Amino acid sequence: MLQRIAFSLKDKIAIVTGAASGIGAAIAEAYGLAGACVYAADQNEPGVRETATRIEQAGGQAFGVRTDITEQAGCEALVARVLSEQGACDVLVNNAGVGHVGTLLTTSPEDLQRLWSVNVQGMYLLCRAVLASMVERKQGSIINMASALGLTAMEDRFAYTVTKHAVVGLTRSIALDFGPTGVRVNCICPGRVETPFVQQRLKEYPDPEKYRAQMVSSHAQKRMAQPWEIAGAAVYLASDESAFVTGSTFVIDGGYLCGK
């Protein structure tokens, strides 16, 4: 019997963090178009409300919610709202993240703590807040945004590399512990992506265009990804078609790791 593969998210309830721009906004929009009810969360309230508006204008259902994922109360309040209003949360996308340029010696304890609070602790807090309800329903998909630097290293990216390696470990550990419950946990490891985050980082260099060319050339495809190219994998991992996928690291890097 032929099986149609549609990657539909119809009737699924999803939380997407870091959804004001870039990859997070692209994932939220893709989920909305695929039929999910999306809670787009970010500290940037105007930005996340714009994301929700774009989804609604395209015929989807979305809510823009200001959330600070570094605060336990904020994470618990976000999940509690979703469960109260929708009765369930089917998908959690931990996409929010920050970066830092520096070696161990040029990364202060405060720098490392800032990245750890967002890139790792925020994921932990949201996973912890949503997991019990998913286990109770014996279903759910958690998708964590790691990086190609969660699988290798790069000069002057000490704190970012450390935290993204931690995301990969966090993902695999939860997947192993809760595999029998029906809850799936995976992470996506992108290469460089054309986002406002990357564009802002470029401005920190004396010659932004020169460094941009270096970033592009580090990929086998000699370009950076567009946010929607990452969103496609997030749709698959949220869909029923990925029912046998857990504990995986999805590398979407344009061949960046080929030369590592």
Active site residues: 160
What type of residue sits at position 6?
A
Which CATH superfamily hosts domain 13-193+226-259? NAD(P)-binding Rossmann-like Domain (3.40.50.720)
CA of 39: how far to CAs of 16, 78, 159, 178, 215, in Å?
6, 9, 29, 24, 32
**pLDDT value at residue 207:** 83
* Beta bridge partner(s), residue 252: 190
What pLDDT sits at residue 220? Answer: 94
Q: In 179-226, which residue ranges form alpha helices assigned H by DSSP? A: 196-202, 208-217
Q: Once rounded to an integer, what is the mean pLDDT over residues 69-90?
A: 98
> What confidence category does residue 205 fall into, taking pLDDT thresholds of 50, 70 and 90?
confident
pLDDT exceeds 80 at position 209 = yes
The dihedral region occupied by 251, where left means phi > 0, alpha psi between -120 and 50, and beta the remainder, is beta
Q: How far apart are CA 14 and CA 90, in angstroms?
A: 6
Contact criterion met (CB below 8 Å) for 138 and 182: yes
Taking residues 172-195, report their average pLDDT. Answer: 96
Q: Quick one: average pLDDT of 130-144? A: 98
* Alpha carbon distance 229, 3 (integer Å): 25
**pLDDT (mean) for 126-146:** 98
pLDDT in tens, 13-33: 999 999 999 999 999 999 999
* Pairwise CA distance, residues 227 & 73, whole Å: 30
Task: List pLDDT tens digits, range 99-127.
Answer: 998 999 999 999 999 999 999 999 999 99
**Mean pLDDT, the chain, integer:** 94
Dig out the tokens for 51 from the structure.
Answer: 């994301």
- Mean of the pLDDT values across residues 231-243? 97
Residue 232 host element (H or E): helix 227-238
pLDDT reported for residue 108: 98
Q: Taking 90 as the threshold, does the pLDDT of residue 170 lie above it?
A: yes
pLDDT at 4: 65
pLDDT in the model for residue 241: 95
CB 161 within 8 A of CB 99: no
Q: From the CA atom positions of the chain, what is the Rg in Å?
A: 18
Distances, alpha carbon 40 to alpha carbons 19, 91, 96, 168, in Å: 5, 12, 11, 23
CB 95 within 8 A of CB 24: yes
